[in-house]
Every structure is written in C-alpha cells, then in structure tokens.
Amino acid sequence: MGNIYAVTNQKGGVGKTTTTVNLAAALADAGKKVLLIDLDPQGNASTGCGVDKDAIDKSSYDVIMTTAKASDAIVRPDDLSFDVLPTNSDLTAAEVQLLDVKLREHRLRLALESTREKYDFILIDCPPSLSMLTVNALVASKGVIIPIQCEYYALEGLSSLLKTIERVKQRANPALEVTGLVRTMFDARNNLAGQVSRQLITHFNKKVFHSIIPRNVRLAEAPSHGIPVISYDRSSRGSIAYMAMASEFMRRESTKTPEKVDK
C-alpha cells in the first residue's frame, strides 16, 4: 500500500509545487508508481503537469466532498509517467463547506483508502496556509516534506507548521512524522543562503535533505510547458537535483527510524 506524503509550507513562493511535481516525476522515472494530488485551489500543480484545469470533469474538490471517487477523478496526462488528481478553483469552496460536515479532517484519508494500494508513493501539493485542506492532507499522510527557501524569512512560520503537525499527530494521526526539509532555490553565491542552510542543519540535523535544489532557469521554465523539468531538460541542474532528491528520499524511507523534531 502506497505511503502518502504532504508537501507543505504555509509560506508561499518556496518551491512547494515545484518540489511536488518534480519529485513525483523523478520517483516515476525511477520506476515507482506515483500519484500526485493537487490540493491547492490555485491548481498550479495541475497546470504544471499539463492538465487543463477548466476542462476537467471531476477534481480533488469532488473527491474531498465525497461527490466522486478518487479513481473517477484521477488522470494520466500525456507524456507523463505518473497519475494526477487535479483541481481547480472549485476547491476554494471546500474550505467553508468542510466546516459543517462530519469527519471533516478525515475526508481525504477516507477517500484514498481504496486507491492507495495502486501506488508506491502519493504526494499531496498543499495550499500555502494552515487550512482545513492542509489538515486533511496531514491526517491522510505518513510523512511531511517541507520545502524551505534559504533566505532571511525562511524560518518564519515554520514553528507554527511544526506545532500543527504535532497537534494532528496527537489528535488524529499518530503515525505522522516530518520526513524532511528540502532547501530550494539555493544560490551558492549568496552568503545569506549559506548561513540559513547551516542554521537549518544545526537545528534539524538529519531531517534536512542532503540534496539541494538550486535556482535554475530550466526549472523555472518547465511549468509553462506543462511538464516536469525531467521531461523538459533532463540534463539541467534542476533536473539532476530532483533526481538526486528522489534517490535520497527512497533510501531514507526504506531504512527509516522515527526521529523527533524539536520545536
């Protein structure tokens, strides 16, 4: 049965969607069966996978509101080797509607029960907020991947996210753990980036992925073509970095021992 991972950070613009899409592609490239779930109403992960948001019949909104089965909404975009559960702006309404339904935090987990066995890995692209949608992703997941941009405000809000993860762990999902923090949009020429990187390693130690995602033009261009960077330019620095991260991720998960994260 496939393990589920929420890719989240309440701070926007840190490479969350880029990480979800390209990690999914790299895992699929390694021969794994992968499902990407777009749980961000902006739908950028869907677009980045070549899905026309305005043309889909069913979306993650229908799945989380139980008006459709996950299997009915999942698509395989052209030229990709992994599946996508896409979304569109309809998902915005779920934030309000979930407030008045039973088991509101468990909707996604329940919806994925019959689908998990088909995949090795399921990655959820979360909205940039600690919303009910994000809580649904955390309740459904085994692990959390946190993209972090190495800049001055990198640690801002991280404490709140870790506290939310701990609350979900205590109240609804005892198996939930932080899988790792990945440094994104890294510029080695920037002294501040190096300082923040060292701070992350000092505070989180082995929870920080060794693989670092650099600032890369090809990585930034790929979403406009509706494909992951591996398909756009396999030899680019961005592509090589995500393939390295996927390898590290698989090694970690195959030999993992729980480790508590200090807040």
Kindly report the CATH class assigned to 3-254: alpha beta
Per-residue tens of pLDDT for the chain, all 263 residues: 789 999 999 888 899 999 999 999 999 999 999 999 999 999 999 999 999 999 999 999 999 999 999 999 999 999 899 999 999 999 999 988 998 888 999 999 999 999 999 999 999 999 998 899 999 999 999 999 999 988 877 777 788 899 999 999 999 999 999 999 999 999 888 888 888 899 899 989 999 999 999 999 999 999 999 999 999 999 999 999 999 999 999 999 987 644 444 44
Cα first-last separation, the chain: 31
What DSSP assignment string belongs to 68-134? S-HHHH-B--TT-SSEEE---GGGGGHHHHGGGSTTGGGHHHHHHTTTGGG-SEEEEE--SSS-HHH
Burial of 262 (0-12, 13-18, 19+ CB in 10 A): exposed
* Residue positions counted in the chain: 263
Specify the pairing of strand 83-85 against strand 34-38. Answer: parallel
Give residue 256's pLDDT. Answer: 65
Domain regions of the chain by residue span? 3-254
Q: Tell me how many degrees the CA angle 223-28-24 measures, rounded to the nearest 5.
A: 45
As given in the structure block, the two tokens for residue 29 are: 């490239």
* Residue 145 DSSP SS3: strand
Rounded to two decimals, the pTM is 0.94
Give residue 102's pLDDT. Answer: 87
Q: How far apart are CA 168 and CA 203, in angstroms?
A: 22
Q: How many CA atoms lie within 13 A of 24 on its CB side?
A: 33
As given in the structure block, the two tokens for residue 72 are: 């009915």
